[in-house]
Chain A
Amino acid sequence: MRYDPPFHRTNGLIPALIALAGLIVLPFVFEASYIRHLLILAFVFGIVAASWDLSLGFGGLFNFAHVALFAVGIYTYAILAKTLGVNPWLAVLAAGPVSVLVATLIALPVLRLDGIYVILVTIAFSQLVYQIIISQSGVTGGTSGMVTLPPLRIGDYRLTSDGRMGYYYVALALLVAACAFLHLLIRSRLGRAIIAMRDAKYLGIARGVPEARTRALTLAASGLFTGLAGGFYASYVRVASPDIFGLGSLTLVLSILLVGGLGTIWGPVMAAFVIILLSEAMSDLGPWRDILIAMLIIAVMVFYPGGLWGVVQEVREAVATTLAGLRARWRRQTGRAAREARMGAPEQMILTRHGRVAVSETGGKGPAILAIHGNSACKEAFCRQFAALRETHRLIAFDLPGHGVSDNADPEEAYNVPAYADVAEDVLAALGIETPVILGWSLGGYVGLELAARAPDRYAGLAITGTAPLNIVPDDFARGYDASSHLVLAGKQYFTSAEQHAYASSATAPLAPDSAFMHRNINRTDGRTRYYMITRLGVVDWPRQMRMLREGSVPFAVLNGADDPFLDHAYIRSLGYGRIWTGAPHDIAQGQHAPFFNRPEAFNLAFTTFMDWARSAARPDVRASA
């Protein structure tokens, strides 16, 4: 099946377009042609570094000959445009394919090698190209290089005129094309293969990713815009010199790549501006400039390998988290009356091991029900249970940390299933509730399983809805769930507003007056809860949950929507349950992923019947006869 998340496309587009618009109008704001010169250099080296990122950052292949590919572009232009008299535009265009060809040649010995050997053989290749260039002085000018190369022109208009205006826009166009190319490539099937070979090589090979072809294509693709940039650069500086093979240009491009951040494409593009400007500002310092740039590289590698792009991500996360926290605070104060009316129960804040959480509790003497909501939802998801069951039961629901109107919490510690179970235990303890029935929805279902697995005797029953019990993680994920695009959103840190509605629609119900609050609530969720939930799956003792189910130590029910878009019902039916209500998972027609919300009458009937059964099943005499 083709795995094709449709929602990932809009996040960066608007900032990118704003940046592009800024760069388009920039020459009219700053008239000095020197600024344009620096920006042209930044564009060119940005392209070279971002292309290198494809093989080094995404492919994990340390191609040391990357700068040589740039040099190949330069010399291709020089020889074609000057010696052979080819039209300069065609010469620039030809530089790309020539570099691709050379990159493919480099790929040949690299196909079978790994790790440090890739580095060594590409260094050797780079030196080979260098030696060939300086030994063929008749063609390449040897060590002194080639000068007065023909510049680019359109008709009679020289691109250097008007303070290099023409070159500026051609370079910008090249940068945009390179970014688009790399961005689309990374998102393509080939891009995913490239990343797969970096992260899990043998798994990738076992799943049929062709290793040699992927490597060859990675290197070839990284050569295309590098060569074009080389050709363009030669037409701009009008010199082709073997100095480009030196340590200086290598450290320049490498510093752009590293300061930007490996494996990001956009990081190097941003860093190109910083490094070129920095390098230019320090041009009076002589050797000190190289020392400072080298120290910058070391500092970034040692302390902050994420680079500039990592800073952008952390700032973005800090802003998003703060916003979500402020929303939670604002809503805690302003929306309280509406929430209490919806739930028909007072709201209180309870301090737990993982921060303060908001709790709704109806009180009363009836059997207790603890309802735990799902990913990016809130306790009000259970408003229809509160409304229907409050006369006969004592209902408790709380907002998980980072959700609803609870506080944000330490993501490392609090945003995972065992921590959520800690919170639930603390809430129960604070309210003095013993042996409740747990109703867990989706992520909350796992919290319920975790609670019951920890202390089966402390719960009168457990009902899960929209949750597939897992044994081996992550393998069982693929079996328990259908890999739909909406499921991908469950682990995505930042939602656009389209994604927010898409996720609420598929997880709860499409936007309608009575479900609007669930849609609204999502933008309060701390996005880190989704990220950490997915990355901290390993901290859960999944087999213990499965064992608890198999042994039937807690009366158990599965109440799924028959048309749940995420779950694989056959998988859930195939598991062994020691003590399950009706002997098998119970489906609720047209319940979708949130049957308790979409079909409350049917759900509540099933749930209360289960509770009755659980109470009788808990009696030892009934248990023995069963």
Chain B
Amino acid sequence: MMSMDTFMAVATGGLVLGAIYALMAAGLAAVWTTLGIFNFAHGAFIALGAYLGWQIAATQGAGLGLVAGTLGAVLVMFAFGILVHMALVRPFERRADIVTASVITTLAGAAIIESAINLIWGPRSRQMPQLVRGEVDLGLLRIPQSDLVLIVVVACVLAALGWFLGRTRAGRAMRAVSQNRQAAELMGLDVPKLYALAFGISAALAGLAGIFVGGLRFMTPTMGTDPLMKALIVVILGGIARFTSPIYAAFLVGMVESFSNYHVGLYWTPAVLFALMIVVLFLKPSGLFSHHQRTL
């Protein structure tokens, strides 16, 4: 039996992981739900976002501090996402095999981004400067300040995203396109622009996630691979029928991972997660939180 302190520490760890996974999964789902494709360059987006943030924030780079680094990285990634959409996905817009084709091109895009990071910043690992240090005492538990900032920022970002999708015209238009492309075209919505917007938002979220991942671990050109795999598990577990489903799943996976790390061990945890995902897909292919029947 674990003590209360350990339990709280492990749970907080789970919450932090869950927050990062939620950020990633929301980004993945933004593209997946609107365009119906899976962006394999999302992990590379994370790495690129982290390196961009580092370049702006760190004293070895521009030295402008982490806030500027974060904002800069998010903005650049937004533009970069639009660029990636134009180069890797749009050429297949009218083709029936867009899913397979874009899997392949985004994978190739990931390889290009990772190699480019390797070329620009070198293979040696780096560390993201920290915004805040020390711990806060919340009565019941003491958690690192950086973790608290992370959780608060993620909560705000996700809430803002929810507001954007539900309340603004552009967000509603994006949802409309994701649900029925042809009807959206007939309504005069600018479908290619909305697709590009979805890609941009997705990349911006990845950039933010990259800053956080870079703060937790050392940065390497391939730092995005592991979070991408986790986000993939999250998206599959949650299903993508609703924007909120992968977010629930993200926290679930974060908790499972955190507790599994403690009880089962670091080595076996990924295997446990992948096995869990395969079992879920086998039993309920549309995801744990999905309300829909699987359609033929």
Contacts and interface: CB of A to CB of B under 8 A. Distances in A.
The answer on direct contact between A and B (beta carbons under 8 Å) is yes
Contacts of B119: 286-288, 291
A128 B105 contact: no
A400 B135 CA distance: 87
B281 A117 contact: yes
Interface string A113-136: 101110111011101100110110
Contacts of A125: 274, 278
Interface of A: 56, 62, 108-109, 112-113, 115-117, 119-121, 123-125, 127-128, 131-132, 134-135, 247-248, 250-251, 254, 258, 286-288, 290-291, 293-295, 297-298, 301-302, 305
Q: Considering the complex of A and B, which 3 residue pairs feature the smallest CB-CB distances, nearest first?
A: A287-B115, A294-B108, A135-B267
Interface in B197-232: 222, 225, 229, 232
B270 A302 contact: no
Contacts of A135: 267-268, 271
Residue among B36, B87, B108, B233 having the largest count of chain A Cβ atoms under 10 Å: B108
A305 B281 contact: no
Contact of B281 (A109, A248, A294, A302): A109
Given A112-B282, A128-B278, A291-B116, A297 B236 contact: no
B225 A294 contact: no
Contacts of B92: 301-302
Contact of B232 (A108, A124, A258, A287): A124
Interface string B230-257: 0011011000000000000000000000
A197 B112 CA distance: 34
A291 B112 contact: yes
Interface string B114-135: 1110110000000000000000
Residue among A113, A258, A286, A297 having the largest count of chain B Cβ atoms under 10 Å: A297
A268 to B, nearest CB: 14
Nearest to B277: A124
Given A113-B285, A287-B115, A287-B118, A127 B274 contact: yes
Contacts of A248: 111
Nearest to A289: B115
Given A123-B232, A294-B109, A128 B271 contact: yes
A286 B115 CA distance: 9
A127 B101 contact: no
Nearest to A108: B282
Contacts of B282: 108-109, 112
Nearest to B118: A287
B103 interface: yes
B275 interface: yes
Contact of B38 (A112, A119, A128, A251): A119
Contacts of A124: 232-233, 236, 274, 277-278, 281
B110 A247 contact: yes
Nearest to B272: A131
Given A124-B233, A298-B88, A115 B278 contact: no
Contacts of B108: 251, 254, 294-295, 297-298, 301
B225 A247 contact: yes
Contacts of B222: 247
22 contacts: A109-B282, A112-B285, A117-B281, A117-B285, A120-B232, A120-B235, A121-B277, A121-B281, A124-B278, A127-B229, A131-B267, A247-B114, A250-B107, A254-B104, A291-B112, A293-B111, A294-B108, A294-B111, A297-B104, A301-B91, A301-B108, A302-B105
A128 B111 contact: no
Contacts of A121: 236, 277-278, 281
Given A247-B111, A287-B116, A128 B104 contact: no
Contacts of B115: 287-288, 290-291, 294
Given A120-B281, A287-B115, A305-B101, A251 B232 contact: no
Contacts, number: 120
Given A120-B281, A128-B275, A131-B274, A301 B232 contact: no
A131 B271 contact: yes
B93 to A, nearest CB: 11
B58 interface: no
A301 B105 contact: yes
A62 B100 contact: yes
Given A112-B282, A297-B107, 4 more contacts: A116-B36, A128-B275, A291-B112, A293-B111
A196 to B, nearest CB: 17
A247 B114 CA distance: 10
A293 B222 CA distance: 18
B99 interface: yes
Nearest to B226: A127
B91 A302 contact: yes
B32 to A, nearest CB: 8
Contact of A291 (B105, B111, B225): B111
Given A124-B274, A131-B270, A254 B107 contact: yes
A132 B271 contact: yes
Contacts of A132: 271
A182 to B, nearest CB: 20
A120 B268 CA distance: 20
Contact of A251 (B103, B107, B268, B277): B107
Interface in B65-110: 87-88, 91-92, 97, 99-101, 103-105, 107-110
A290 B111 contact: yes
Contacts of B111: 247-248, 251, 290-291, 293-294
Contacts of A297: 104-105, 107-108
Nearest to B115: A287
A200 B288 CA distance: 30
A294 B270 CA distance: 28
Nearest to B265: A135
A287 B117 CA distance: 9
Nearest to B102: A301
A251 B285 CA distance: 28
A287 to B, nearest CB: 4
Contacts of B104: 254, 258, 297, 301
A62 B274 contact: no
Contacts of A250: 107
Nearest to A295: B112
Contacts of B32: 116
A411 B5 CA distance: 77
Nearest to B228: A123
A381 to B, nearest CB: 41
Contacts of A134: 267
A109 B100 contact: no
Contact of A116 (B99, B110, B267, B270): B99
Contacts of A127: 229, 270, 274
A44 to B, nearest CB: 21
A128 to B, nearest CB: 4
Residue among A112, A131, A250, A297 having the largest count of chain B Cβ atoms under 10 Å: A131
Contacts of A115: 99
A113 B115 CA distance: 33
A121 B268 CA distance: 19
A120 B40 CA distance: 11
A125 B274 CA distance: 7
Contacts of A302: 91-92, 105
Residue among B109, B232, B278 having the largest count of chain A Cβ atoms under 10 Å: B278
Nearest to A132: B271
Contacts of B233: 124
Contact of A62 (B103, B116, B229): B103
A105 B111 CA distance: 29
Contacts of A131: 267-268, 270-271, 274
A109 B103 contact: no
A254 B101 CA distance: 12
A291 B110 CA distance: 10
A113 B281 contact: yes
Contacts of B271: 128, 131-132, 135
